C-alpha cells in the first residue's frame, strides 16, 4: 500500500523524525505528508521541501504519487 | 540546450512573478495551481501564468532546470519559491507579501496574464 511505502521512505530519510502520511482523498494517490525532523533546522522552506521531494523521488517519478502536499518543521 | 529550455529560462528570468501551472489563471485545471494563484493574488502579486498541459515537454524541461518534481512552481524575480504549500505558508506568515514588495516595489500594479510557450 502506497501510504506504507511513502512512510517507510520518509522514516528512512529522516531517522528519528516524526512522520505522518495521509491518503487525502482515499483514492491512493493524493497524499499529505508531515515531517518534523532536526534535518530541517536552519533550512529555508524550499530546502526543506526539496529534501522531502528527494526522499520520495521514486514514487513521484513512477506516478504512485499523483499529488503531494508537504508540511515540514524543524526541531530547533 | 533545447530551445524550449531556453524559452522557459527566459520566462523565469524576465517575468516578475510567474507560475508554471496546470491550466491558465482564467481556467485553472488543478486545485494546487488554484491555491498558488490565490495566495499570490492575496499577497498583491502581479501574476503571469504558464500552462504546462499543452505539451508534456514543458513540465519535463522545467523540472530538469529546477529539480522540483511537482506543479505548480512559483517564481519571484527568477527565484523558485516553491509549490502551492510553500506559497500558502509564506502568505500566512506575511513573508510572501514582503518578498513581493521587496522584489517589485510597494506600488507595483497587480495584473494577471497568460503566457503561452511555443515548444516547436
B80 contacts in A (CB within 8 Å)?
46
Residues 6+ apart with CB under 8 A from B102: none
ipTM of predicted assembly, 2 dp: 0.90
Phi, psi of B22 (to 5 degrees): -95, 120
Q: Could you tell me which of B4, B73, B65 has the C-alpha nearest to residue B35?
A: B73
Touching check for A27 and chain B: CB below 8 Å?
no
- pTM reported for the whole predicted model: 0.93
Query: Is CATH 3.30.300.90 what the domain over A2-73 is classified as, yes or no?
Result: yes
**Residue to test with chain B: of A31, A56, A70, most B Cβ within 10 A:** A70
Q: Could you write out the three-class secondary structure of A4-73? A: HHHHHHHHHHCCCCEEEEEECCCCCCEEEEEEECHHHCCCCHHHHHHHHHHHCHHHHHCCCCCEEEEEEE
CB contact under 8 A, B86 and A69: no
Segment B83-106, tens digit of pLDDT: 999 999 999 999 999 999 999 987
CB contact under 8 A, A50 and B86: no
Residue A33 grid coordinates: 505528508
Domain boundaries, chain A: 2-73
Shortest distance, CA B12 to any CA of chain A (angstroms): 17
Segment A24-76, tens digit of pLDDT: 999 999 999 999 999 999 999 999 999 999 999 999 999 999 999 999 999 98
Domains with residue ranges and CATH for chain B? 3-115 (3.40.30.10)
Amino acid at each position: 500500500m502506497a501510504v506504507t511505502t511513502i512512510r517507510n521512505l520518509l522514516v528512512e530519510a529522516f531517522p528519528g523524525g516524526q512522520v505522518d502520511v495521509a491518503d487525502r482523498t482515499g483514492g491512493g494517490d493524493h497524499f499529505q505528508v508531515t515531517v518534523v525532523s532536526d534535518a530541517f533546522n536552519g533550512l529555508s522552506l524550499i530546502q526543506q521541501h526539496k529534501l522531502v521531494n528527494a526522499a520520495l523521488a521514486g514514487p513521484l517519478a513512477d506516478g504512485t504519487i499523483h499529488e503531494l502536499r508537504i508540511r515540514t518543521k524543524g526541531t530547533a | 540546450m533545447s530551445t524550449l529550455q531556453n524559452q522557459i529560462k527566459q520566462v523565469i528570468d524576465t517575468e516578475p512573478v510567474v507560475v508554471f501551472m496546470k491550466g491558465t489563471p482564467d481556467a485553472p485545471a488543478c486545485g494546487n495551481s488554484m491555491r498558488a494563484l490565490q495566495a499570490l493574488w492575496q499577497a498583491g502579486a502581479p501574476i503571469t501564468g504558464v500552462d504546462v498541459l499543452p505539451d508534456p515537454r514543458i513540465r519535463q524541461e522545467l523540472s530538469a532546470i529546477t529539480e522540483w518534481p511537482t506543479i505548480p512552481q512559483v517564481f519571484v524575480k527568477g527565484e523558485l519559491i516553491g509549490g502551492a504549500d510553500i506559497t500558502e505558508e509564506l502568505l500566512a506568515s506575511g513573508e510572501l507579501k514582503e518578498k513581493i514588495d521587496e522584489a517589485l516595489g510597494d506600488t507595483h500594479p497587480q495584473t494577471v496574464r497568460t503566457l503561452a510557450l511555443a515548444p516547436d
